[in-house]
Structure formats: structure tokens, C-alpha cells
Structure 1
Amino acid sequence: MVTVRLRPLEEADLPVFEHAYSTRDGAGEHQWFGFSPPGRGLAEMGALGPHGGRLTVTADDRAAGSAFWFRREWGPAETSWCWEVALHILAEQRRRGLGTQALSLLTRYLFDHTLAWRVQAVADAANTASQRMIIRAGFTREGVLRAAQWREGRRHDQVLYSLLRDDLPPQP
């Protein structure tokens, strides 16, 4: 079994992710939003911050992808916010169960270290693999966000999922 962990983004990760996300094949058909400026640093790549962050997903101590989170508001900012999470697993690491493990670790991390009551995830309506992964991590499907994302010249429907603090099983 592969050991999946999350750790802070490091300078050594930047070229790996820069290369991986620089093409449609590397980013994946549901996450290709076009080219990004080259040479981005830790802050620009989304290292830890008060309104979100990025951790490196490792598999057997080697970088295997990124786990992201950012703040979403559903009303007054003080009382009606949650984290939205996203993953990007490197193309050569996909279909090994790393995403499910990483999403579960990230969700637990956010509930353990922030006051968030809700964590949500969104998947492209055509990305059934991501939808299955999100459900395996314990999330509940809430509905479809019609034409919510602009990508590759057209609008795409997204499926919204959530996990509430009360939904988490007790830790052993």
C-alpha cells in the first residue's frame, strides 16, 4: 500500500508542478485553463495563507500532486464561510487511489486546524472519476451548478459536494 501524506509546498516542488500543469495532458482535460506565467514562486503558487493554501501530496515521500483550499462565502463573511478544496494529482500518479486518500487527509487537516464547519468540493459534470473520488472521501452530492466554469471556449456544468464537521467519523 502506498503511503500518502500532505506537506507544505517546497521550492523543489515548483519545477515539478510548473512542468506538470503546463500542458492539457499534464493538467488533465477537466483542469486545463490555459498557460500560466512561468517561474512563479511559493506565494504565487498558493503556499499557506489565511484565505487558503496548497500542500504537496506525496506518495512514498515523492511529490505526487497538490491539494488546494480556498475560502468561499455563502453570506456574511464572518459567519457564512467554508473551505472549497481541489486536488491535482500528477498524470503518472492517477488511478492509484492517491486522490481519495489526499482528499480525506486534507479535509481532516482543515477541520482539525480551522473553525470551518463545511468543506466543499466541485467536479466537472463530465469528470466521473473525480466525482467517484469525492464520494469515496465521504462527501455528499448537493447538486449541479449550471454553466459555472469557463474552460476551453465554452461553459461547463459543475457538481457541488460537501462534507460537514458532523459527517466526519470519530478518530480512532
Structure 2
Amino acid sequence: MTRVTLRPVLEEDLTIFEEEFYGPEGVGPYQWFGHRATGRERRAFAETGLLRDDGGTLTVCSGGEVTGRVEWFKASWGRPLTSWCWEIAIGLRPSFQGRGIGTEAQRQLAAYLFEHTRAHRVQAFTDIGNHGEQRALEKAGFQREGVIREAQWRGGRWHDQVLYSLIRPGAGRTEP
């Protein structure tokens, strides 16, 4: 497999993202939620470079090419001050899917978040029918936790999602 790297988003990456991820052909059947404006992402890039305290976006590169992007944002399982975790997402350009790039990018993103934040948990979810992404998450070290029934509205109906998580390495659980 070609070497995979994550780096901050450059302005020229935004054009690739718009061309590849803003239509049903680019995002595929599991991520098409309808048309959306591109100006908001460009404004956020101008303001923050898409790197914020509550989440961010990095460009995925492989073989010297922009292959996609990874994102993270805060989610919580209780009070946000004490029970937050990172939730991650990935979008790969269709011509780069199925090569292990997504597996490595998600592994690197989780490692980055554990190294640079105090997060104890990183989680991701995917459509129950997206077997490629399920394999990628498992190969990246994520553990399947279960099915979240009818959690995502897409294409005129509700879809089940599969939840995965990765716990900070070396962290022990404490239970009463």
C-alpha cells in the first residue's frame, strides 16, 4: 500500500472536496444527504483553517495526491463537560477507495486525537450495509459496539447504523 499522510487542509483542497463530495457520485449511497451550499465550508476555512477546539478536518494524501479527508467533532454520552468523546468521519475520493487508505487514515486520526487531546474514546458509525467501511474500522482497531436502529435519515427513509469505538490505549476501565 502507498504511504498515507494526514495534513491540514489547503485552500486548493476545498475545490477537490467540492468536486468530489458535493454530489451523489462522489460520496456514494451511504453519505448522500442532498445538495448543500459550499460557501459555509470556505468561510470556516478562511476563519479557522478547519481546525477548531471542538473538531476539525484534515486532508488525506497518498502517493502525492489528495485522496480525501477525515473529520472529527465532539459527541457526548451524558454531560458534555465530563462525558465527551471524539466522533470521526471519512470521505475518500471514489478512485481511491478499496486500497486500505481509509483504514490507515482512520487509524492515524485516532492516534492523533489520543496524542493531542485528553479524549478517552474515539467513535465512528457507518450504515449497516457499508461493509467496506465496517472492515476498514475493524482493521484500524475499532471495536463494533452494536446497531443503532433507524438513526439516520437519508434517501427518503431511516437507516440503521453500526457504532464502533476505540478506547485510549493503556487506559483501564473502572467499574463500581
Q: TM-score, normalised by structure 1?
A: 0.93
Question: What are the within-5 Å matches in structure 2 for residues 70-85 of structure 1?
Answer: 70-85=73-88
Distance 1:61 1:48 in 2: 22
Distance 1:117 1:38 in 2: 33
Tell me the residue number matched to 1:106.
109
Distance 1:110 1:88 in 2: 18
Which amino acid letter does the alignment assign opposite residue 41 of structure 1? R
Which stretches of structure 1, 4 residues or longer, exceed 4 Å deviation after superposition? none
**1:58-102, Cα deviation, whole Å (9 max, x unpaired):** 002211000010100111111100000011010111111100010
Aligned 8 A contact 2:21 2:91 in 1: no
**1:119-142, Cα deviation, whole Å (9 max, x unpaired):** 001010010110011000001110
Could you tell me which of 65, 69, 86 is aligned with 2:68? 65
Aligned 8 A contact 1:3 1:60 in 2: yes
| 2:34 is aligned with 1:34 | yes
Aligned 8 A contact 1:67 1:87 in 2: yes
Distance 1:25 1:146 in 2: 26
Q: TM-score, normalised by structure 2?
A: 0.91
Cα distance change of structure 1 residues 127 and 167 upon mapping to structure 2, 3 Å threshold: farther
Distance 1:99 1:167 in 2: 24
Unmatched runs of 5 consecutive residues or more in structure 1: none
Give RMSD over aligned pairs.
1.7
Tell me the residue number matched to 1:16.
16
Distance 1:42 1:98 in 2: 28
Shift of 1:38: 3.3
| 2:135 is aligned with 1:122 | no
Tell me the residue number matched to 1:43.
44
Aligned 8 A contact 1:72 1:81 in 2: yes
Which amino acid letter does the alignment assign opposite residue 38 of structure 1? T
The structure with the greater share of residues assigned to helix is: 2
Identity between Structure 1 and Structure 2 (%): 48
